[in-house]
Amino acid sequence: MEHGNGWLNATLVYLAAAVLAVPLARLAGLGSIIGYLAAGIAIGPFGLALVTDAQTMLHVAEFGVVLMLFLVGLELEPRRLWSLRRPIFGWGSAQLFGSALLIGGVALAFGVEGRMALVAALALAMSSTAIGLSVLNERNLMTTGAGQTVLSVALFQDIAAIPILALLPLLALGSTGSAGGGWSGALQAVAVVAGIVFGGRLLLRPALRWIAGSKTPEIFTAASLLLVVATAALMQSVGLSMALGAFLAGVLLAESEYRRELETDLEPFKGLLLGLFFIAVGMGIDFAVVLEHPAIVAAVVAGFLAVKALVLGLMARFIPVPLAERPVFVILLAQGGEFGFVVLQTAQGAGVIAGTASSLLVAAIALSMLLTPVLLVLADRYWPAHIARHAAAGRPPELAEPQQAPIIIAGFGRYGQIVGRLLAANGMTATVLEHNAEHIESLRRFGWKAFYGDATRLDLLRMAGAAQASVFVLAIDDVEQSVECATLVREHFPQCTLVARARNAVHYARLRQLGLVYVERETLDSSLMSGRRVLELTGMRPHEARSQAMKFRRHSIDLLEEMVPHFADEGRLIAIARQGRQQFEQTWAREREQRGGGARGAWHTSERD
């Protein structure tokens, strides 16, 4: 009973810490990962000491990384994985061995013994798969160039577990039979991987089909967990990365008809266990070692981050990773990783590295993982300004001579490009201003004549020909910059007719209050087109569906125009929105009665948009 209470109390502490820390971290703009890490520090041995057995929880929570790699594998069909073979083995080996070589060289230069330097280099060269892929998913960057390279390097590191763990016994002091054991272990590992690949292709789909035939959802969920656990256990039995085995199982099922059901069943478990993993990492930071040797720990953290950042910076130029994505690419792969803990633990057990040195390196890896979300926040804050300076220094150039086009388009993203393409299709030319330097490079490759520039600068607007232009299309994404640009154009170029894009109702109101007449909300018409299609699919005749959509559009605009003068008074806004909705529903109900019934035309909308 006592044991049961202990388990219940630990669960209560973990969940309470996560629920309190993660929302606070996200409110502070630091992301959920640093919230979990902070929660672990707070409840761990060097915080409130509510939980003291961090290692046991770390072993349990590592299963979150396993589930994450399984779900990543489900998104990669074998053909796509085969297409990534060069990034995996090319860039993956360049990162791992390049970083290990430099870190080992620096360690030797400071007098570290050879075998210890090799172990430290291999451990510190690893990166955190858990943090890396979590950040990529959180930022929706998995499909970008940086995201695919981070995934490739992470997969190579898991594959590299086979020779690295086989190598460690060979380094053991006074070991005579290690070599044979090491190589036999490597052969067993290869045999297990081959068994998972070939056996999985023959057995997994028929087994899942048979289980799904029972029509018992909870049993299918249990089977999904059993599949991942069994694969991970097989890999662990031969000393390999559990995550690699789960990834292989996911790839084998990527083309299965049960892929989506597996994802749905396992996603909640993955999120919870990943959170526990980060909490356990925070708990495991040995602050006693940090406080005893603060200068050494700081030097190790700064040193290996700098060395790996150098290697990754060179890689980013050759891959190439777009300039805007380089901070994410470098920061996510420069940190230490959870596999570094395994390398150090194994090396310490084999007598290759002393316990004090192992604790110091473990603390350094954990601190680098703790620093990663902070570095990402700093990069988000300061890197865009660097890109702007880089672009202004000569790539791409700003306007070098005055332009004469009668139309100016400020902002050439998804919205501005549609306007530009329509104009070009009708033989009209426009001067295009865009503040995203890399976006301009891609636009020019497609034949667009776009110029880098901040449309809130008066001198740039003059150079763009705003004094002679007749139409100014305001398609800037940022609301504050859009309003500032509209103010400048209204004040200094009154002959220009402004046609503006509004992101939402508040943006619409601010532009209308400046006196702009032609303002369109970016999602209104596309949403109405989808609504028209739904009405048609439910049996309404096409011309009637169009009529209802246009009526809705007129009412929506009229209601928003009525709200424009009152956007500073939230109570008044809500009252107008409710009154407008009631009037519209009453009108629609009367029309349905006149038509003799029909589909229920209940109208629902947000009171602020």
**Which stretches of 437-569 are DSSP H helices?**
437-445, 458-463, 479-492, 505-513, 524-537, 542-563
Tokens standing for residue 516: 């702009």
In a domain, 534, yes or no: no
Average pLDDT over residues 60-74: 70
Angle at 361 between CA 355 and CA 362, to 5 degrees: 85
Average pLDDT over residues 443-467: 77
CATH number at 290 reads: 1.20.1530.20
Q: What tens digit of pLDDT does each residue of 152-168 get?
A: 888 788 777 667 766 76
The angle that helices 355-392 and 338-349 make with each other, rounded to 10 degrees, is 150
Please answer whether residues 367 and 290 qualify as being in contact, where contact means their C-beta atoms are separated by less than 8 angstroms: yes
Q: Would you state the pLDDT for residue 182? A: 52
Q: Would you state the pLDDT for residue 596? A: 57
Q: Would you state the pLDDT for residue 499? A: 93
Question: CA 566, CA 391: separation in Å to the nearest integer?
Answer: 41
Residues sharing a CB contact under 8 Å with residue 325, sequence separation 6 or more, in sequence order: 141, 144, 145, 146
Question: CA 296, CA 289: separation in Å to the nearest integer?
Answer: 10
Tokens standing for residue 314: 């060179």
Q: Would you state the pLDDT for residue 387? A: 61
Shared domain for 339 and 413, answered yes or no, is no
Shared domain for 324 and 408, answered yes or no, is no
Confidence check: pLDDT of 578 > 70:
no
Shared domain for 379 and 428, answered yes or no, is no
| Neighbouring C-alpha atoms within 13 Å toward the C-beta of 35 | 21
Q: What tens digit of pLDDT does each residue of 105-115 get?
A: 888 888 888 88
Residues sharing a CB contact under 8 Å with residue 606, sequence separation 6 or more, in sequence order: none
Shared domain for 194 and 338, answered yes or no, is yes
In a domain, 463, yes or no: yes
Query: Token match 């749905």: residue?
Result: 264
Q: For residue 497, give the 3-state DSSP assignment.
A: strand
Query: What is the SS3 assignment for 137-164?
Result: HHCCCCCCHHHHHHHHHHHHHHHCHHHH
Question: CA 301, CA 293: separation in Å to the nearest integer?
Answer: 12
Q: What tens digit of pLDDT does each residue of 227-256 get?
A: 778 877 877 777 666 766 777 777 777 767
Element (H, E) at 498: strand 497-502
Shared domain for 66 and 153, answered yes or no, is yes
Average pLDDT over residues 334-340: 81
Residues sharing a CB contact under 8 Å with residue 214, sequence separation 6 or more, in sequence order: 220
Question: 38-52, 337-351, 487-501 — which one is most confidently predicted on average?
Answer: 487-501
In a domain, 566, yes or no: yes
Question: CA 309, CA 330: separation in Å to the nearest integer?
Answer: 6
* Domain boundary residue, one of 338, 354, 388: 388
Query: What is the SS3 assignment for 391-405?
Result: HHCCCCCCCCCCCCC
Shared domain for 434 and 483, answered yes or no, is yes
In a domain, 45, yes or no: no
* Domain boundary residue, one of 491, 522, 553: 522
Question: CA 18, CA 504: separation in Å to the nearest integer?
Answer: 33
φ, ψ at 452 (rounded to 5°): -75, 135
Q: Whole-number mean pLDDT of the chain?
A: 76
Element (H, E) at 451: strand 450-452
pTM (whole model) above 0.85: no
Question: CA 525, CA 532: separation in Å to the nearest integer?
Answer: 10
Residues sharing a CB contact under 8 Å with residue 299, sequence separation 6 or more, in sequence order: none
Residues sharing a CB contact under 8 Å with residue 315, sequence separation 6 or more, in sequence order: 91, 94, 95, 149, 321
Q: What is the DSSP string of 327-353?
A: HHHHHHHHS--HHHHHHHHHHHHTTSS
Domain of residue 580, residue span: 540-609
Question: CA 60, CA 35: separation in Å to the nearest integer?
Answer: 20
**Percentage of residues of the chain with pLDDT beyond 70:** 74
In a domain, 527, yes or no: no
Tokens standing for residue 189: 């590992």
Question: 25-39, 259-273, 287-301 — which one is most confidently predicted on average?
Answer: 287-301
Q: What tens digit of pLDDT does each residue of 303-315 get?
A: 999 999 999 888 8
In a domain, 462, yes or no: yes
The residue ranking higher by pLDDT, 13 or 305, is 305
Average pLDDT over residues 335-343: 78
Q: What tens digit of pLDDT does each residue of 536-548 get?
A: 888 888 888 888 8
Shared domain for 383 and 403, answered yes or no, is no
Q: What tens digit of pLDDT does each residue of 200-212 get?
A: 667 777 777 787 7
CATH number at 435 reads: 3.40.50.720
Shared domain for 140 and 218, answered yes or no, is yes
Average pLDDT over residues 255-281: 73
Q: What tens digit of pLDDT does each residue of 380-416 get?
A: 777 766 665 655 554 454 555 677 888 999 988 888 8
Give me the number of domains the chain comprises: 3
- Tell me how far CA of residue 157 lies from CA of 128, 191, 237, in angstroms: 10, 19, 19
Shared domain for 119 and 243, answered yes or no, is yes
Q: Would you state the pLDDT for residue 6? A: 62
In a domain, 35, yes or no: no
Q: Would you state the pLDDT for residue 471? A: 93
Element (H, E) at 499: strand 497-502
The residue ranking higher by pLDDT, 305 or 33, is 305
In a domain, 529, yes or no: no
φ, ψ at 190 (rounded to 5°): -60, -40
- Tell me how far CA of residue 468 lies from CA of 259, 482, 492, 514, in angstroms: 58, 21, 12, 21
Query: Token match 């460690």: residue?
Result: 168
Q: Would you state the pLDDT for residue 579? A: 65
Shared domain for 269 and 342, answered yes or no, is yes
Whether the CA torsion 66, 72, 78, 82 is positive or negative: it is negative
Shared domain for 381 and 444, answered yes or no, is no
Shared domain for 376 and 237, answered yes or no, is yes
DSSP for residue 320: T
478, 482, 483, 488 alpha-carbon torsion, rounded to 10°: 140
* Domain boundary residue, one of 370, 388, 406: 388
